[in-house]
Structure 1
């Protein structure tokens, strides 16, 4: 993917020009407002407000999660928030509930027969750890030999290892494709930006450092060589991978950046977010390409990065919410996979499909 995005509206000193930012879409329902009444309705409204970044006082019993801006990629995050609030629900309930009131009723009905809530094991690697042993990794089963091999790949050794855990099922699919087609990986997301001054560029790079420091998924590498299974390796610290290049004055800037950096990404090193930048000859204008692998961020993640980048550059980093560790998502996804036989389900539903359902027999969609 090659996306040309507008640069953030910045003042010459590198700060976000708040007056130039577009007005936010409130996303509010057009229906008559009905305040949540029951304990479940109020608790669900609070989780919606948190996940969707909405004003809880404006969420109505008649509102629909997806109508307020929710989407399938946020469902796991919503389920996690509901669990933390003591609400038992599953993805089918979220998708089938017509509105908040209906979802609350489902939760209330399910509550008496709930079998207990899955609790993600807490991280165990202490700060300053000199050697990581199998008992410090509750989410993955690895031998000491495998752990030592993983740690040897980390700059700074064991002291710079925050966690090690498996890939979530969707990540496994992307990683498989990456290994099979490393020279033509469609999961590398590239965005081209420009700013007018060097001060603005430095401010944005500084903001990205803060965003990377906040989110463990942006400090993650994926290793599989000589290992029994692919694993995610989270660094405690990972800087911005920044590469400055010299431009040819006689060629288009965007074409030069795209030609040079439309290439594979090394997933075995963190961060899987790379910056390739150049200054326009004869000016202070800077162009830079942010490359991010889809295995650690989707379009919802890109929106979070952009929103937090704005806040960091504007000096409002302290106002950002506490980030949710990515290990929470991985643990829940693995728990669901182990308790639901997806292969049996889809074999039953799609067992009579005998050939690809490709439109017009177009099987290769990654070309022109």
Structure 2
């Protein structure tokens, strides 16, 4: 690009057949499920993923590995450490690991009911107390200055800024006291 950055959209997609010598199909239910999960995460056809193919050579990376671990927990009920995908990046080896692991019930995170206020998490409470102890402390402020060139369309700027605030709840969060407890 003119800014000397890589245009990732212009790059070709990963060649899922690169370096593959022999396709070995899944041999059992766990391997079948892993192929399905990898196919969903990597955006490729199931027929292109063999049990000895490397997750990262097929286009995987750390974020996709995180999604894969979450899907394995949801579908196979195994809490797979993220590091395990890096250590054993083939379906054959992951399947062997999963067979020996304890099964857990998948418990989805439920959305909290809408309220006027919520009890603080332990991390929020810690930050609140630290701020109250030293009210002039600006350790958690992030000052930023941006130089804008050209004419500023104030209406458009305000609209986009309000959309940003609406999209990110943390930008609308404030703390107060309720029954002598921070909320």
In the superposition, the TM-score normalised over structure 2's length comes to: 0.59
Structure 2 partner of 1:81: 71
Note closer, same or farther for the CA distance 1:109–1:122 as it changes in structure 2 (3 Å cut): same
Structure 2 partner of 1:335: none
Write the mapping of 1:320-331 to structure 2, written as runs, cut at 5 A: none
1:122 aligns with 2:71: no
Alpha-carbon offset, residue 78 of structure 1:
0.9
Paired residues of 1:87 and 1:107 also in contact (CA < 8 A)? no
180, 204, 220: which is aligned to 2:168? 220
Structure with larger Rg: 2
Note closer, same or farther for the CA distance 1:52–1:184 as it changes in structure 2 (3 Å cut): farther
Higher relative contact order (CA 8 A, sep 6+): 1
168, 178, 181: which is aligned to 2:142? 181
Report how many aligned residue pairs link the two structures: 138
Note closer, same or farther for the CA distance 1:183–1:79 as it changes in structure 2 (3 Å cut): same
1:105 aligns with 2:87: no
Note closer, same or farther for the CA distance 1:84–1:39 as it changes in structure 2 (3 Å cut): same
Write the mapping of 1:123-272 to structure 2, written as runs, cut at 5 A: 123=111, 125=113, 132-133=114-115, 142-143=118-119, 179-183=140-144, 219-223=167-171, 224-226=173-175
How many Å separate the matches in 1 of 2:99 and 2:44? 24
Paired residues of 2:52 and 2:90 also in contact (CA < 8 A)? yes
Paired residues of 2:34 and 2:91 also in contact (CA < 8 A)? yes
Identify unmatched segments of 5+ residues in structure 1.
9-20, 126-131, 135-140, 147-164, 168-177, 186-217, 230-368
Deviations 1:255-304 (A, max 9, x none): xxxxxxxxxxxxxxxxxxxxxxxxxxxxxxxxxxxxxxxxxxxxxxxxxx
Paired residues of 1:62 and 1:100 also in contact (CA < 8 A)? yes
Alpha-carbon offset, residue 3 of structure 1:
7.4
1:58 aligns with 2:6: no
Write the mapping of 1:309-324 to structure 2, written as runs, cut at 5 A: none
1:91 aligns with 2:82: yes
In the superposition, the TM-score normalised over structure 1's length comes to: 0.32
Secondary structure of the residue aligned to 2:170 is strand
Paired residues of 2:35 and 2:91 also in contact (CA < 8 A)? yes
Structure 2 partner of 1:15: none
How many Å separate the matches in 1 of 2:96 and 2:76? 15
Alpha-carbon offset, residue 33 of structure 1:
0.9
Deviations 1:232-276 (A, max 9, x none): xxxxxxxxxxxxxxxxxxxxxxxxxxxxxxxxxxxxxxxxxxxxx
Identify unmatched segments of 5+ residues in structure 2.
124-138, 147-165, 177-181
Structure 2 partner of 1:239: none
Paired residues of 2:31 and 2:91 also in contact (CA < 8 A)? yes
Alpha-carbon offset, residue 60 of structure 1:
0.8
RMSD: 3.7
Alpha-carbon offset, residue 22 of structure 1:
6.8
